[in-house]
Amino acid sequence: MLQLSNLVGPARGRKNRKRVGRGPGSGTGKTSGKGQKGQKSRSGGSPHPWFEGGQMPLYRRLPKRGFTNIFKKEYELVNVVDLARCAGADPITPEVMKEKGLIKKTGAVKILGCGELTESMNVHAHKFSGTAQAKIEKSGGKVVTL
């Protein structure tokens, strides 16, 4: 029978925390296991993990590559199969998609052609893939580019 008096902990048990600076008998007294003097014996005295002892660090030894196009247009992607969640709304605009949780921001939206569409829908978005446009029009819907 399980009682408080015969409870057994996990096999590895609990390990007590190391109490440093508690006298010579503890093994971690006086200098608290940090040795004598030097950078690592001071409080907060440890360089960042990627410090290489003054050697030219890896992030500076490697060559720089590529560039970031600051004019790149970012689209939020929605698949045709996900548009079924917006059924009943006409037309399906980015605002409706945000309301239904398909996109996070009401920025530029691109509709992709993954999946099948069962009902006709009027979809308003900033961009459509070729297959998405074909599937929406095949199901009797309409595609409007914003």
pLDDT in tens, 26-39: 989 999 989 999 99
Q: Is residue 28 part of a domain?
A: no
Number of Cβ atoms within 10 Å of the Cβ of 115: 13
pLDDT at 128: 92
Q: How much is the pTM?
A: 0.56
pLDDT by 10s per residue, the chain, length 146: 889 999 888 888 888 899 999 999 998 999 998 999 999 899 888 899 999 999 999 999 999 999 999 999 999 999 988 888 887 778 888 888 888 888 888 789 999 988 888 888 888 999 999 999 998 888 888 888 98
In a domain, 119, yes or no: yes
Residue 70: the pLDDT is 94
**For residues 78 and 12, what is the distance between their CA atoms, to the nearest angstrom?**
48
Asked if the structure places residue 81 within a domain, the reply is yes
Task: For residue 104, tell me if it sits in a domain.
Answer: yes
Give the C-alpha separation, 107 to 91, whole Å.
17
pLDDT for res 127 = 92
pLDDT on residue 4: 92
The predicted structure's pLDDT at residue 19 = 92
**What does residue 109 show for φ and ψ, rounded to 5 degrees?**
-120, 135
64 in a structural domain? no
Q: Kindly state whether residue 23 falls inside one of the protein's structural domains.
A: no
Quick check: is 128 in a domain?
yes
What local confidence, expressed as pLDDT, does residue 86 receive? 81
In the numeric block, the tokens 């590895």 are attached to: 12
How many domains does the chain contain in total? 1
Q: Can you give the residue range of the structural domain that contains 119? A: 76-145
Task: Return mean pLDDT, the chain.
Answer: 89
Any domain includes 97:
yes
**Strands 122-125 and 76-79, bridge-based pairing:** unpaired
Query: What secondary structure does DSSP assign to the chain, as a single string?
Result: ---GGG----TT--PPPP--SS-GGGSS-TTTTS-SSSGGGSTT----TT--TTSPPHHHHSPP-----TTPPP-EEEEGGGGGGGTT-SSB-HHHHHHTTS-SSSS-EEEE--S---S--EEEESEE-HHHHHHHHHTT-EEEE-
pLDDT tens-digit map of 63-78: 999 999 999 999 999 9
CATH of the domain at 141: 3.100.10.10
